[in-house]
Amino acid sequence: MKPRIYYTKPSITQLEIQYATDAATGGWGEKCYEYIVRFEEMFKAHLGVQYAIATSSCTGALHMGMAASGVGPGDEVIMADTNWIATASPVVHLGATPIFVDILADSWCLDPCQVEKAVTSRTKAIVAVHLYGNLCNMDRLLAIGEKYGIPIIEDAAEAIGSVYFGKRAGSMGRFGAFSFHGTKTVSTGEGGMFVTNDSQLYERVLTLSNHGRARSQTKQFWPDVVGYKYKMSNIQAAIGCAQMERIDELVTRKREIFFRYTSGLEGLFGLTVNPEPPNTRNGYWMPTVVFSSKIAVSRDVLFKAFQSDNIDGRDFFSPLSTLPMFASQPDNVVAYDLPRRAINLPSYHDLKPEEQERVIACVRSVLHATNNAREKDLP
Ligand SMILES: *Cc1c(COP(=O)(O)O)cnc(C)c1O
């Protein structure tokens, strides 16, 4: 059996180990927030935003940001149907309803026309998820938000390293949320970040994040509102600091892996990959191939080929509206169609060139088989 190729795992060097060890050894007492503050400062500088709060997850950052934005019972929050559940669950926890709209066939992100059609008097927010590093059309979404007075939230969990007309993903909306889960480009094991340029929203989330205790409150153990407990630990933040020192290397490597795939798959008929439109840069969190509907290759065929070569494939997200707890939305035709002919390719930092060649050979063999079959079918 050939050695297994995993689709993702974090890149941990001596630097992460050194910082985490330092935090575990001496990062207590008056030093118990040192790495957290440093991590937040580094993240703000990287993103070009004014405020950042480290959290235990992206889900927690979204939950607090939405709560502080006033999302509550009876409200609607518009988001793409193609999505991870973490974007929708905070909406449900707050008593509001996620409204799932279709995606664009090229970016696999929110279709602005469908967003505008879905706006009602109850719409409280629109969440832009930059899927797999691909960027949403932020100009259009921000214009819709402006027109109807609805904030745009950026779920940038998958988009560290992605840049839209000079602005980093996560820095353009009312607030942004990031994930440092073990699968993400920057990882602290579990973790997240809330970012914003809105000072009032920042103060509200800061209070919520501290069990509802306002910064101005002088009484001890005296919450002013019922808040949340979504804090990051100093040890996790220490790992985060090391990752932020290496951020350019981490993103550059993702891009290298992506381009090695595209050059290895060049010239194959019926295949598309993550787009990178003019004036944008894709962080390529998940290099993804989509087989054309005109050819008879499906995700399942490639999955089988991967399995026999001991390679991990990763499912393209199924529409959230196909899950049992939500109403189905079969009119979201792109979201319903893509998963059966799309797959994420392995892309972790330490992936070796020869391992990537194995993945490329697998995709090529599957496509060659059907491209040949297709030619034979021609009259
Ligand atoms: C990973 C991910 C999340 C959740 O991140 P956690 O840190 O696990 O809460 C949210 N949204 C998207 C789009 C993600 O990919």
CA distance 237 to 42: 11
Establish if 2 belongs to a structural domain. no
66 within some domain: yes
Domain boundary among 245, 263, 280: 245
Output the tens digit of pLDDT for each of the chain's 379 residues.
889 999 899 999 999 999 999 999 999 999 999 999 999 999 999 999 999 999 999 999 999 999 999 999 999 999 999 999 999 999 999 999 999 999 999 999 999 999 999 999 999 999 999 999 999 999 999 999 999 999 999 999 999 999 999 999 999 999 999 999 999 999 999 999 999 999 999 999 999 999 999 988 999 999 999 999 999 999 999 999 999 999 999 999 999 999 999 999 998 888 999 999 999 999 999 999 999 988 878 888 899 999 999 999 889 999 999 999 999 999 999 999 999 999 999 999 999 999 999 999 999 999 887 766 555 444 4
User: Does residue 154 share a domain with residue 108?
Assistant: yes
In a domain, 1, yes or no: no
**114: domain range?**
14-245
What pLDDT shows up at residue 379? 40
Residues 6+ apart with CB under 8 A from 337: 293
Report how many domains make up the chain. Answer: 2
**Same domain for 277 and 136:** no
Q: If you take atom 14 of ligand 1, which residue's CA is the nearest one?
A: 157
30 in any annotated domain: yes
Establish if 87 belongs to a structural domain.
yes
224, 245, 266 - which closes a domain? 245
**Residue closest by Cα to atom 12 of ligand 1:** 157
Residues 216 and 296 in one domain: no
Ligand 1 site-directed mutation target among 53, 59, 185, 320, most atoms within 8 Å of CB: 59
Separation in Å, CA 302 to CA 136, 222, 296: 28, 57, 11
Residue to mutate, 8, 53, 91, 155, ligand 1, most ligand atoms under 8 Å from C-beta: 155
> Tokens 């330490």 sit at which residue?
350
205 with 321, same domain: the answer is no
Residues framing ligand 1 (Cβ under 6 A) = 57-59, 84, 86-87, 129, 155, 157-158, 179, 181, 192
Classify residue 4: in a domain, yes or no. Answer: no
Q: Are 237 and 272 found together in one domain?
A: no
Q: How many Å lie between the centroid of ligand 1 and the Cα of residue 331?
A: 25
End-to-end alpha carbon distance in the chain: 41
CATH number of the domain encompassing residue 164: 3.40.640.10
Q: Which of 126, 114, 130, 117 is nearest to 184 (CA)?
A: 130
Q: Is residue 3 part of a domain?
A: no
- For 296, phi then psi, to 5°, come to -90, 30
Pocket test for ligand 1, best of 179, 183, 184, 285 (most atoms within 8 A of CB): 179
Q: Answer whether residue 7 is part of any domain.
A: no
Q: Which atom of ligand 1 is nearest to the CA of 131?
A: 13
What is the crossing angle of helices 247-264 and 353-377, to 10°?
30
Q: Which of 81, 84, 131, 318 best tests ligand 1's pocket when mutated (most atoms within 8 Å of CB)?
A: 84
The residue nearest atom 2 of ligand 1, judged by CA position, is 157
Ligand 1: atom nearest CA of 179 is 7
Statement to judge: residues 127 and 78 lie in one domain: yes
The pLDDT assigned to 71 comes to 98
Domain identity same for 33 and 109: yes
Q: How far is the CA of 66 from the centre of ligand 1 (A)?
A: 15
Answer yes or no: do 239 and 291 share one domain: no
Alpha-carbon radius of gyration of the chain: 22
| Residue 373: per-residue pLDDT | 55
CATH number for the domain that contains residue 368: 3.90.1150.10
Question: In this structure, are 219 and 259 located in the same domain?
Answer: no
Mutate to test the pocket of ligand 1, among 55, 57, 58 (most ligand atoms within 8 A of CB): 58
How far does residue 179's CA lie from ligand 1's centre (Å)?
Answer: 5
**pLDDT score, position 371:** 65
Q: How far is the CA of 365 from the centre of ligand 1 (A)?
A: 33
Are 97 and 214 part of one and the same domain? yes
CA of 177 to the centre of ligand 1 (A): 9
pLDDT at 295: 84
Question: Is 91 found in the same domain as 172?
Answer: yes
Dihedral over alpha carbons 134, 264, 309, 287 (to 10 degrees): -10
Distance (Å) from CA 103 to ligand 1 centroid: 18
- Distance of CA 123 from the midpoint of ligand 1 (Å): 23
Q: Nearest Cα to 297, choosing from 342, 346, 344? A: 342
Domain boundary among 219, 245, 271: 245
- The CA–CA distances, whole Å, from 125 to 91, 141, 250, 260, 376 equal 10, 11, 32, 38, 52
Do 234 and 282 lie in one domain? The reply is: no
